């Protein structure tokens, strides 16, 4: 007996649905999975920090300022990112794909082209430098893949195509950046500094 308005927690006549086994992945799905596996270990998570003064204890302390993405460039610990990711920060930390965290120092910056290079002290065994492709032979309609940390969600993959080539945008310094790749792959806050890769898993843009 069920009272009016009550919902039974169990239906004795209910039957489980049959589960249909998944078929083979499509070839383009296999390609996308392989690209992500190849390139994702070369993507770093960057946290920038600001220094603040505790006026009561007259002591400095760090607070998170922002997040972004970076590219493991070589086995010497160089991490390439966008200049605006680290702009105005007092310090930065880099989290690698193995979740190890490293203090980073700025070793190079070009605000006019919105690029920066950080250096971390990770041993070569922890670093997976990204494969480098060419950008002079790109074609509109070519598939591309973006890997980054949008909204702090690390190692997120989005896919799309090259929508246009040779675009021009303004850098944080106000100077024009020419030769920009336009893509319809979703790019969100936190993706900045991450790689745009081709179907061979090679970086072709930042």
CATH topology of domain 30-39+131-205: Thrombin, subunit H (2.40.10)
For the chain, domain boundaries = 30-39+131-205, 41-126
Most confident of 20-29, 61-70, 141-150: 141-150
Q: What is the per-residue pLDDT across 55-65, written as a single tens digit (0 to 9) for each? A: 566 566 666 67
What are the pLDDT digits (tens) for 160-189? 999 999 999 999 888 999 999 999 999 998
What's the CA gap between 47 and 110, in Å, rounded? 19
Q: Does domain 41-126 have CATH number 2.40.10.10?
A: yes
Q: Which string of DSSP letters, residue by residue, matches 89-102?
A: -SEEEEE-TT--EE
DSSP 130: P
Active-site amino acid positions: 84, 114, 192
Does the model's pTM come out above 0.75?
A: yes
Q: How far apart are CA 154 and CA 156, in angstroms?
A: 6
């Amino acid at each position: 007996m069920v009272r009016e308005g009550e919902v039974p927690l169990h239906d004795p006549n209910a039957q489980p649905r049959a589960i249909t086994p998944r078929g083979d992945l499509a070839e383009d799905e296999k390609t996308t999975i392989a690209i992500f596996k190849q390139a994702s270990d070369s993507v770093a998570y960057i946290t920038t920090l600001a220094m603040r003064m505790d006026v009561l204890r007259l002591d400095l302390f760090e607070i998170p300022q922002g997040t972004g993405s970076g590219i493991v460039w070589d086995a010497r610990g160089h991490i390439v990112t966008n200049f605006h990711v680290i702009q105005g920060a007092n310090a930065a930390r880099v989290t690698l794909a193995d979740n190890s965290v490293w203090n980073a120092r700025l070793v190079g910056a070009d605000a006019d082209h919105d690029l920066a290079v950080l250096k971390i002290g990770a041993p070569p065994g922890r670093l997976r430098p990204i494969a480098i492709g060419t950008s002079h032979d790109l074609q509109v309609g070519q598939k591309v893949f973006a890997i980054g940390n949008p909204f702090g969600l690390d190692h997120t993959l989005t896919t799309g195509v090259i929508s246009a080539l040779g675009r021009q945008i303004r850098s944080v310094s106000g100077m024009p950046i020419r030769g920009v790749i336009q893509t319809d792959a979703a790019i969100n806050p936190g993706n900045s500094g991450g790689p745009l890769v081709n179907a061979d898993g090679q970086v072709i843009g930042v």
